[in-house]
């Protein structure tokens, strides 16, 4: 038996939580791609009526190609449901996001979302954040040196993110990213997010605190586990 793709399993399951008439937040990444595919199928086959607010240029492009109606943040006050991935998520539903570079837009959309549904494979669920995945910090290029020095003072080992070509990675917002290693992981994600966001020049931190409501975990046997935050 060929194992299922956990990303596809969780991504498609989340799309079936969507109800007609909803305004959706459309996350970024390889798992959300399958959510977009399933949404497009439901729009075609069920006449599902939705509009989506994309969190990246990449998601916007894919959604348009699939025929998913889109809106901008200027056109919405609240978002009913957002489907997004996570690079890591712990038992308290705290997350690290930003592996795809869309952390700023993802957090803005999450902040006005009534129900945030996070789609992951089992390998993304961890006991402590920051051990297996580096924490992304988005910053304005002008402040690179001072931001790096401040991050070091907070116990971080920052590395400037580069694209596959070797050039410095640039976000959709024209900023750069430090990927930050914390030896032993992140002991207090809430406190770390707070102090990081106080560093002048930092635009956003990849810690997403108290923003997730539903966790959809895909397994390679084709099943899903759904957890809801109490």
CATH number at residue 150: 3.30.70.260
pLDDT of residue 200: 98
Same domain, residue pair 22 and 75: yes
Identify whether residues 199 and 214 lie together within a single domain.
no
Q: How far apart are CA 118 and CA 122, in angstroms?
A: 12
- Asked whether residue 130 is domain-assigned, the answer is no
Single pTM value for the model: 0.95
135's tokens: 């924490």
Q: What is the number of other CB atoms lying within 10 angstroms of the CB of residue 230? A: 4
Is the Cβ–Cβ distance between 68 and 43 less than 8 Å?
A: yes
Query: Same domain for 198 and 105?
Result: no
Same domain, 91 and 142: no
pLDDT at residue 1 in the model = 61
| Residue 50, domain CATH | 3.40.50.1360
Any idea which residues carry the catalytic annotation? 106
Distance CA 214, CA 115 (A): 7
Per-residue pLDDT at 3: 78
CB 98 within 8 A of CB 206: yes
The verdict on 143 and 164 lying in the same domain is yes
Secondary structure class of 6 (helix, strand, coil): helix
In this predicted structure, what is the pLDDT of residue 4?
85
- Could you tell me the residue range of the domain that residue 147 belongs to? 135-205
Residue 230: what pLDDT? 83
Q: Do 167 and 186 fall within a single domain? A: yes
Residues 149, 112 share a domain: no
Q: Is residue 81 part of a domain?
A: yes
Classify residue 225: in a domain, yes or no. no
Q: Which residues of the chain have pLDDT under 50?
A: none
Is residue 228 one of the residues assigned to a domain? no
**DSSP H helices in the chain:** 6-15, 30-46, 57-66, 103-111, 144-153, 189-197
**Does residue 100 sit in the same domain as residue 184?**
no
Domain count, the chain: 2
Task: Mark whether 49 and 113 lie in a shared domain.
Answer: yes
**Contacts within 8 Å (CB) and 24+ apart, 191-196:** 192/135, 192/154, 195/154, 196/137, 196/151, 196/154
SS3 of 7, please? helix
Are 91 and 188 in the same domain?
A: no
Same domain, 22 and 89: yes
Residues 171 and 118 in one domain: no
């Amino acid at each position: 038996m060929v194992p299922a793709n956990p990303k596809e399993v969780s991504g498609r399951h989340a799309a079936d939580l969507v109800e007609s008439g909803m305004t959706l937040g459309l996350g970024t990444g390889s798992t959300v791609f399958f959510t977009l595919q399933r949404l497009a199928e439901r729009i075609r086959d069920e006449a599902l009526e939705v509009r989506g607010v994309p969190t990246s240029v990449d998601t916007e492009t894919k959604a348009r190609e699939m025929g998913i109606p889109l809106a901008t943040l200027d056109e919405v006050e609240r978002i009913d449901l957002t489907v997004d991935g996570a690079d890591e998520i712990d038992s308290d539903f705290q997350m690290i996001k930003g592996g795809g570079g869309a952390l700023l837009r993802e957090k803005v959309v999450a902040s006005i979302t009534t129900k945030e549904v996070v789609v992951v494979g089992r390998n993304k669920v961890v006991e402590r954040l920051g051990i297996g995945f580096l924490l992304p910090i988005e910053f304005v290029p002008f402040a690179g040196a001072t931001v790096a020095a401040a991050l070091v003072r907070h116990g971080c080992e920052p590395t400037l993110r580069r694209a596959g070509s070797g050039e410095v990675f640039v976000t959709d917002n024209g900023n750069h990213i430090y990927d930050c290693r914390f030896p032993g992981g992140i002991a207090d994600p809430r406190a770390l997010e707070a102090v990081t966001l106080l560093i002048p020049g930092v635009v956003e931190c990849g810690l997403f605190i108290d923003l997730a409501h539903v966790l959809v975990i895909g397994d390679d046997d084709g099943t899903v586990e759904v957890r809801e935050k109490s």
